[in-house]
Structure 1
Amino acid sequence: MRFWGVRGSISCPGAEYARYGGNTSCLEVTAGGRRLIFDAGTGIRPLGLELARHAPLDIDIYFTHTHLDHIAGLTFFAPLFDERNSVRMWAGHLKPPNTLKAVVKSLMKAPLYPVSLEAFRASIKFMEFKVGQSLACGDLTMRTAPLNHPNGATGYRIDHGGKSICYITDTEHRVDRRDVAIIDLCRKADVMIYDSSYTDEEYARYRGWGHSTWQEGVRVADAADVGTLVIFHHDPSHDDAFMDGVARDAARRRPGSASSGLPRVIVAHEGLIIAP
């Protein structure tokens, strides 16, 4: 897996974000001869420029949800403008009359955008599913679970070759108990990428915004017996110096290495590659 965007809420340019990165959520996973992309935040743009050199392409994009920070880069994803490519877009959180195609069409509509959905030249399919379903994905196994986020969101688990990755963002935890759906989805996963927008100390100011804390990520990872926790979806107010502090504190809370040889906790940054 490679992280192309690790920020939450809004992209953050500037020297103070140079090491961890300022692009919003985008994760690339390659396994079993397939390329899977999770979310289309601003980080999908540099990914698209890299992929465009290798057309024709067959790509799946899985959305946790369609808030702006997770779709803001979609219309700048170069493979969508090449007729040689096939792209499937998946979403499980939307409820009628909302559809994924309608959301993307609205994103590319005046007065917000200069061109319409018809500007895409790739073969595009919009794939709707009900969160909680397992999805067909070649030799990979993909399971999903609901996340606690305004307007809904989907968590994903990918299993292949005895390895497993969970992508859990955006979700708000409950202070008095762990989220059973997340723990069940992530049980004994090699890697869990978790919404760690806030610290426990900050959380009270943002209750109801739909996000969690890195400390809750530690608690969930321990409860689910996860090998490596990846702290992700960094708040825009958390610059490199702040994230260095999170990295130190998290390493003390979850020291050592997992059986895979990876650290038991990693703070995601743009360009990070993890091969469990």
Structure 2
Amino acid sequence: MENVDNQDLIRTIQVKFPRLSKGQKLIAEYILKHYDKAAFMTAAKLGVSVGVSESTVVRFANELGFSGYPKLQKSLQELIKNKLTTVQRIELSNDFVSQESPLKSVLKSDMENIRATLEKINHKTFDDVIANIFKAKKIYIIGLRSSTAIADFLGFYLNLILDNVKVVGYGISDIFEQMINLTGDDLVIGIGFPRYAVRTIESLTFAKSRDAKVVAITDSLLSPLAARADYTLIAQSNMASFVDSLVAPLSVINALIVAVGMQEKDKISSTFSDLEDIWKEYQVYSFREQN
């Protein structure tokens, strides 16, 4: 089961239901009705909610073909993470922080996202993306909704290093009008996480129709952005709350900026030397007087 597409999970539960024990049937019924909540419950908490022991929950996961409950939980999370509404996320956030303070819960979750990203990301793909950034005639960056902040961050720093970067976003002109001159010599970097913005997906489809190279920075190879990309950089963004976790995606973007900068050291030194003079002259930053 662990090698089967997550979309088959609900069907598997339905097929196996008649052969389950009485306690396991209670778990199955709960998951079929409340899979959005079950996805973020520990085995112990799911057992309490249903009225069975934690060991019964573990045996239920084994009966479905999983090596343990965490694998079943992960499959449920993959199944529902793009389907949760904001209202459902708010309801889930109560469970998310019930045992610990919001500060500790969120920081621990973000640490796990970075750890998982380090394990999942393909280093060769990362190097290929860097190579394509330098090959591209023009680079378009698009990240909408909650991904706008990190798209702007990537665009801000790449613009200091290169001179062919354009951040595409909502404004006076439509998204496609901003990409009208896109060609096969260009590179499009699409950034998106559940819930995926439709316009970002459409933009990558448009880019492929123009034969441009496409890079996706997203949470999974099953992401609709990845389906339209030549290169996909995986950054885990799991957060059982109404707020998207963009810590791991931002770390990947930081790594991209640093990797590009390392190949343009002389240009960066010259650029920032000029900028420091400008910032001081126009008081962009607060400069403390040195004694």
Q: Which has the larger strand fraction?
A: 1
Q: Which has the larger helix fraction?
A: 2
TM-score, with normalisation over the residues of structure 2?
A: 0.28
TM-score, with normalisation over the residues of structure 1?
A: 0.29
Structure of higher CA gyration radius: 2
